[in-house]
Chain A
Amino acid sequence: MSQIATQKCFNHAGREAAARCPACGRCFCRECITEHEGRVMCAACLRRSVPPRGRGGGLQALLAAALRCAAGFLTAWLVFYYVAQALLRLPSSFHEGALWREIPWERP
Chain B
Amino acid sequence: MSGAASSARARRRPAEPGALDVITDAFHLLRSAPLAVLAAYYAGAAPFVLAFLFFWSDMSRSAFAARRSLAAALGMALMFLWMKIWQAVFAAGLRDLVAGARAAWGWRRVARLAAVQTALQPPGMLVIPLALFLMAPFYAAHAFYQNVTALGDGSGGDVREVARRALRLATLWPRQNHVVIWLLSPWLLCAGMLAAFGAARLVVSLTPELHHMQGLLWFAAALMLIFLAVLPLAPFGCAVAANVAALLIVAPRMLHALLGMQTVFTLSGWHAVFNTTFLMSVFGISYLCLDPVMKAVHVLRCFAGEARRTGEDLLVELKRARRETERKYGAEA
Contact = CB atoms under 8 A, between A and B. Distances in A.
Interface stretch (B237-245, B258-266, B274-282): B274-282
Nearest to B309: A22
Interface in A53-108: 61, 65, 68-69, 71-73, 75-81, 83-85, 87-88, 90, 92, 94-97, 99-101, 103-104, 106
Given A81-B69, A87-B59, A92-B61, 16 more contacts: A39-B315, A65-B159, A69-B115, A69-B119, A72-B119, A72-B120, A76-B76, A76-B77, A80-B77, A83-B73, A87-B60, A92-B60, A94-B276, A95-B276, A96-B274, A100-B204
B271 A97 contact: yes
Contacts of B55: 80, 84
Interface of B: 55-56, 59-61, 65-66, 69-70, 72-74, 76-77, 80-81, 114-115, 118-123, 125-126, 157-159, 161, 200-201, 204-205, 208, 211, 222, 271, 274-277, 309-312, 315
B75 to A, nearest CB: 8
Contacts of B315: 38-39
A73 B59 CA distance: 21
Contacts of A100: 200-201, 204, 222, 274
Contacts of B119: 65, 68-69, 71-72
Given A69-B119, A92-B61, A103-B211, A80 B66 contact: no
15 contacts: A68-B159, A69-B119, A76-B80, A79-B125, A81-B70, A81-B73, A83-B59, A84-B65, A88-B66, A95-B60, A96-B271, A96-B274, A97-B275, A103-B211, A106-B208
Nearest to A96: B275
A95 B54 CA distance: 14
Contact of B80 (A39, A80, A94): A80
B73 A72 contact: no
Given A22-B311, A95-B276, A72 B121 contact: yes
Nearest to B208: A103
A80 B208 CA distance: 37
A51 B125 contact: no
Nearest to B318: A38
Given A22-B311, A75-B126, A81-B69, A101 B81 contact: no
Contacts, number: 115
Nearest to A87: B59
Interface residues of A, number: 36
Given A71-B119, A76-B81, A96-B271, A88 B157 contact: no
B18 to A, nearest CB: 25
A23 interface: yes
Interface string A41-61: 000000000010000000001
Contact of B73 (A22, A71, A84): A84
Nearest to A95: B60
Nearest to B222: A100
B107 to A, nearest CB: 15
Most buried by A among B123, B157, B222: B123
A101 B160 CA distance: 52
Contacts of A104: 205
